Amino acid sequence: MTAPAHQPPQIARANGIDICYETFGDPAAPPLLLIMGLGGQMIIWYDEFCEQLASRGFRVIRFDNRDVGQSSKLHGGRRLTPFELLKLRFFNIPVAAPYKLLDMAKDTVGLMDALDIKSAHLVGASMGGMIAQETAISFPHRVRSLTSIMSTTGNPRLPPPTREVAMMLMAPPPKTKDEYIRRFLRTWKVLRAGSFPEDEARDVALAERCFARGTSPAGVGRQLRAILASGSRKPRLHSVTAPTLVIHGKRDPLVHHSAGTDTAESIPNAKLLMIDQMGHAIPTPTWPEIIHAIADHAHGANVQAAQDQRQRG
């Protein structure tokens, strides 16, 4: 099937801030929102990935979260310190944050309002999965289906990131374009947890695109604070009514694969797809399986919703 053409990036006013978004596919098709993770711009959802999803019968919408890319940059919050992390981990002393994941869920719903979308399929990766979970908890009528990829419930009992990944997260931000590109390449090589030559070959071009669109180290820090300040969603996830698919890589060095199991066990009737050669990324060789799983899950939710509507009618 031919992938539909996509519309260029636009700005929408949502939840009091500007959100940069881009659409792929038929505007009349069921909407499917892609929510990226910590510090990730919307273009980390590769154009071809979006096009392939759109070709499966969806209006695919990707967007920059607040504080990254070309969406609004906020203010406040200082660089997270190891001492704050220790206080959180061992004494459960909350991390202060200018905003929380609920505010980012409200951004998602605000974008849907701006685009006149009553409800949508939500697909979130890492922090994006947390935002999608929060949206499904707090705004259940806006979520047709939920797909949570390489994410977590926020359960503090789950294993922490590997030491190598934790050190990367806490490293000072790069100061120059060259440093940014080197850090980008190193980060994704570690997160993929394997050799993926096709993805590695286009990392430089993707890093250059991200740098040109704008970087915000302080914004990434605020996003990280939002995650840590929001606590565990595990008890509240029992209330989720949206059909849910959980996808996780068995080699994930950032969010241990047990977090995928924990997420699926916390949401009623959730389905779990574990992928052997996947780390904390969606490398090209995994696309066929992941795109098929997302599309099949969302279409199944559409069918079920239509049947429920007929029964009520």
Q: What is the pLDDT of residues 53-71, one digit of tens each?
A: 999 999 999 999 999 999 9
Q: Using the structure block, give the residue that is written with the tokens 């606590």.
A: 231
Q: How far apart are CA 222 and CA 62, in angstroms?
A: 21
DSSP-assigned beta bridge partners for residue 179: none
Instruction: Look at the pTM and tell me if it is higher than 0.85.
Output: yes
pLDDT of residue 130: 98
Q: How far apart are CA 294 and CA 245, in angstroms?
A: 8
pLDDT of residue 90: 60
Residue with the larger pLDDT of the pair 288 and 81 = 288
Q: How far apart are CA 130 and CA 270, in angstroms?
A: 15
Q: Is the pLDDT of residue 277 over 70?
A: yes
pLDDT of residue 79: 74
**What share of the chain has pLDDT > 70, as a percent?**
92
Q: What is the mean pLDDT of residues 278-304?
A: 95
Task: Walk across the sheet containing 271-275 and list its strands.
Answer: 6-14, 17-24, 59-63, 31-35, 120-125, 143-149, 244-249, 271-275
Q: How many CA atoms lie within 13 A of 26 on its CB side?
A: 8
